[in-house]
């Protein structure tokens, strides 16, 4: 009876999860430099991912023969040797990257609000963008305001 209840609980939790795509994207963002995360987050995530990959290599070696049989059964045009022979290493890389998640939580709670507070205010940003548009800074992609500014002017910067 307990085993059945446990199995039903696991099934319910699995069906309630949205999928692993969002987790994989989040993990990729933990190690990417262009996401605005500091080394405080990226370094542990990268170390965890690398450790996961290294742990997965012996598993890949152990399952080489079944992986070879599966690889040979695939049509030639859809064969991808890396995804077949290093599957467990890549899965464990993605899991290992999540070591950076607690660091990301601390960074987003303590560091990012301070850094974002020094960002240009919305009105200042709009004024800068209007100035760039008036100077022709982006002649290939002109931006035309759809809504006039609330002060009733035409929105063009004044010298």
* pLDDT 10s digits, 28-48: 888 888 777 888 888 999 999
88 pLDDT band (50/70/90 cuts)? confident
113 pLDDT band (50/70/90 cuts)? low
Check residues 93 and 23 and name the one with the higher pLDDT: 93
Whether pTM exceeds 0.85: no
The per-residue pLDDT for 152 is: 61
In this structure, what are the phi and psi dihedrals at residue 144, rounded to the nearest 5 degrees?
A: -110, 120
What is the dihedral angle through the alpha carbons of 10, 16, 18, 24, rounded to the nearest 10 degrees?
-30
Secondary structure element (H or E) that encloses residue 73, with its range: helix 64-73
Do residues 62 and 70 make contact, with C-beta atoms less than 8 angstroms apart?
Answer: no
The per-residue pLDDT for 124 is: 76
Residues sharing a CB contact under 8 Å with residue 70, sequence separation 6 or more, in sequence order: 84
Give me the mean pLDDT over the 42-60 stretch.
91
- Report whether pLDDT(155) > 60: no
Most confident of 15-19, 49-53, 66-70, 110-114: 49-53
**Angle of the 101-110 helix axis to the 21-31 helix axis, nearest 10:** 70
Do residues 49 and 93 make contact, with C-beta atoms less than 8 angstroms apart?
Answer: yes
* pLDDT 10s digits, 76-85: 888 887 777 8
Check residues 138 and 24 and name the one with the higher pLDDT: 24
The per-residue pLDDT for 47 is: 93
Domain ranges of the chain: 22-135
Rounded to whole angstroms, the Cα distance separating 48 from 100 reads 8
């Amino acid at each position: 009876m307990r085993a059945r209840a446990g199995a039903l609980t696991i099934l319910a939790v699995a069906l309630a999860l949205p999928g692993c795509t969002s987790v994989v994207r989040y993990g990729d963002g933990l190690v990417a430099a262009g996401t605005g995360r500091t080394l405080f987050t990226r370094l542990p995530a990268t170390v965890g991912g690398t450790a996961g990959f290294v742990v997965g290599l012996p598993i890949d070696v152990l399952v080489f023969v079944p992986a070879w049989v599966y690889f040979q059964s695939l049509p030639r045009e859809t064969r991808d040797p890396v995804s077949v022979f290093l599957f467990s290493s890549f899965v464990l890389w993605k899991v290992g990257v999540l070591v950076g998640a607690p660091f990301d939580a601390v960074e987003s709670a303590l560091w990012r609000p301070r850094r974002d507070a020094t960002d240009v205010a919305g009105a200042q940003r709009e004024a800068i963008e209007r100035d760039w548009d008036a100077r022709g800074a982006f002649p290939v992609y002109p931006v035309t305001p759809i809504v006039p500014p609330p002060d009733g002017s035409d929105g063009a910067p004044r010298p």
